[in-house]
Amino acid sequence: MKILLVHEFYQTHSPSGEDAMFLAEKRLLEDGGHAVQVFEAHNDAIGRSVAERLAVAAGSIWSLRSYRSLRRAIRGFRPDVVHCHNTFPLISPSAYHAARAESVPVVQTLHNYRLVCPSGLLLRDQKPCEACVGRMPMPAVRHRCYRGSRAASAVAASMLVANRALGSFRSGVDRYIVLTEFAREILIRGGLPADRLVVRANGLAADPGTGRGDGGFALFVGRLSAEKGVVTLLEAWRDVPGLPLLIAGDGPLRAELEAKARATDVNAEFLGRVPRERVLDLMRRATLLALPSECYEGMPVTLLEALACGCPIAASRLGALAELVADGENGVLFTAADAAALAGAIARLRADPGAMAATRVRNRALFEARYAPSQALRSLEAVYRDAIRAAAAQAAEPALPRARRSRTTSETNTGPEIR
């Protein structure tokens, strides 16, 4: 199969799990024998001048440059499917229309909630927020939800409103990949067509191998920002005796967190940003992985890596994490933003070494059954085939009598649509 992958990388100083997953799926497809070509942009290219930022703002709604460039790329490569990941703000939803103009099916992976929330995070004041789901996204502008700026939030909201009116999200995408049932339910409420949303979990392109968990430490991997729950994690660790906490990652709260750890004598070590191979080595040796997120996560790569390594997980009972981590099976769940609950969950997990060992076995088995490279490739290929069939059926639809065409549409669309 020939696949054209479309992705816009986040800024270098703020790496994203979306970038990592895009690269992982590219490798997965290439290793699986598919012909892959990439159409990409990079947010490092966004200039700082007012004129440059105004041009980006306008292009985020509809980029004529991306539309023309992508059409040329499609003509040169003639892919069987175009698979979009991130398109905001440089590429824009014009990518869907470029593929449509060249009669190529489109798949869009929704790594976040951008199509129902201008910030993409469903987060306000460091708490989950669904104020814009299923309605005009004006609350996001009022509360400066995107980058803390009313102007930037207005740009992101305008992208949604304009492309809903253009039908970009309704008819421009043949299949949306969503990562969890939790995300699917929110996106349907937000107006995406239910019959085009396919739940497909992320997977890993390479198996990191199972570990022994004999390092005698707990591990946190991620961005050091409030919504990731790291403040709560440090507060909880005052009541977690005898288990050092290693924190791998960087972010705006690092200096504050390090000072707090010193002041309260918390047994935590800040490693900063570390290479992936070292993260995997730590994961294989860790007693447990802490996922104390206070926002709606998509499907964290660290969770998949923990399962692959057999590492038990202590996660917030919030959003998709409560779906991905079975309490008592893959680890423990606790109430988000509750330090006492987190400390109690850690104590419960550590109380029975035999149960911990059984959890490691179950987590590895779950990875092999759902998230291993072979499973990830098979499920991705299935979505592509489904999109190709759907596009062919849609192309043939005008030949149907009007009454039958109308009836078919009403029968297949089980949820509201963004227009």
Exposure pattern of 392-407 as b/e (b: 16+ CB <10 Å)?
A: eeeeeeeeeeeeeeee
The structural domains of the chain, ordered by start, are 2-204+382-412 (3.40.50.2000), 218-371 (3.40.50.2000)
- The mean pLDDT value of the chain amounts to 92
Per-residue pLDDT reduced to its tens digit, 147-181: 899 999 999 999 999 999 999 999 999 999 999 99
| Nearest-angstrom CA–CA distance, 35 and 55 | 34
Contacts of 124 (CB under 8 A, 6+ apart): 131, 143, 145
Calpha distance 135→152 (Å, rounded): 19
The amino acid present at 12, given as its one-letter code, is T
Q: What pLDDT shows up at residue 46?
A: 84
pLDDT for 399 equals: 54
Pairing, β 127-128 against β 123-124: antiparallel
CA-based max dimension of the chain: 74
Q: In this predicted structure, what is the pLDDT of residue 207?
A: 97
Query: What is the CA angle 9-26-121, rounded to 5?
Result: 40
3-class secondary structure per residue, the chain: CEEEEEEEECCCCCCCHHHHHHHHHHHHHHHCCCEEEEEEEEHHHCCCCHHHHHHHHHHHHCCHHHHHHHHHHHHHHCCCEEEECCCCCCCCCHHHHHHHHCCCCEEEECCCCCCCCCCCCCEECCEECCCCCCCCCHHHHHCCCCCCCHHHHHHHHHHHHHHHHHCHHHHCCCEEEECCHHHHHHHHHCCCCHHHEEECCCCCCCCCCCCCCCCCCEEEECCCCHHHCHHHHHHHHCCCCCCCEEEECCCCCHHHHHHHHHHHCCCEEEEECCCHHHHHHHHHHCCEEEECCCCCCCCCHHHHHHHHHCCCEEEECCCCHHHHCCECCCEEEECCCCHHHHHHHHHHHHCCHHHHHHHHHHHHHHHHHHHCHHHHHHHHHHHHHHHHHHHHHHHHHHHCCHHHHHHHHHHHCCCCCCC
Please tell me the distance from the alpha carbon of residue 323 to that of residue 221, in angstroms, as a whole number: 20
Give the pLDDT of the chain (419 residues) as one tens digit per residue. 999 999 999 987 776 889 999 999 999 999 999 999 999 999 888 888 878 888 888 899 999 999 999 999 999 999 999 999 999 999 999 999 999 999 999 999 999 999 999 999 999 998 999 999 999 999 999 999 998 999 999 999 999 999 999 999 999 999 999 999 999 999 999 999 999 999 999 999 999 999 999 999 999 999 999 999 999 999 999 999 999 999 999 999 999 999 999 999 999 999 999 999 999 999 999 999 999 999 999 999 999 999 999 999 999 999 999 999 999 999 999 999 999 999 999 999 999 999 999 999 999 999 999 999 999 999 999 999 999 999 999 888 765 454 444 344 433 333 333 32
Alpha-carbon gap, residue 272 to 133, rounded angstroms: 35
pLDDT tens-digit readout, 10-49: 987 776 889 999 999 999 999 999 999 999 999 888 888 8
What's the sign of the alpha-carbon dihedral 190, 194, 198, 199?
positive
Query: Residue 30 in contact with residue 210, Cβ under 8 Å?
Result: no
pLDDT at 413: 37
Q: Output the pLDDT for position 416.
A: 30
pTM of the model: 0.91
- Residue 366 contacts residue 330 (beta carbons within 8 Å): yes
Q: What are the CA-CA distances from residue 5 to residues 28, 109, 205, 227 (Å)? A: 12, 11, 16, 30
Give the integer Cα–Cα distance in Å for 136 and 118: 10
Is there a contact between 74 and 97 (Cβ–Cβ < 8 Å)?
no
pLDDT on residue 247: 98
133 contact partners, CB below 8 Å, separation of at least 6: 116, 117, 122, 186, 189, 190
C-alpha to C-alpha distance for 344 and 216, rounded to whole angstroms:
18
Q: Report residue 415 as tokens.
A: 């949820």
The pLDDT score that the predictor gives to residue 398 is 63
Peptide bond into 89 cis (omega under 30): yes
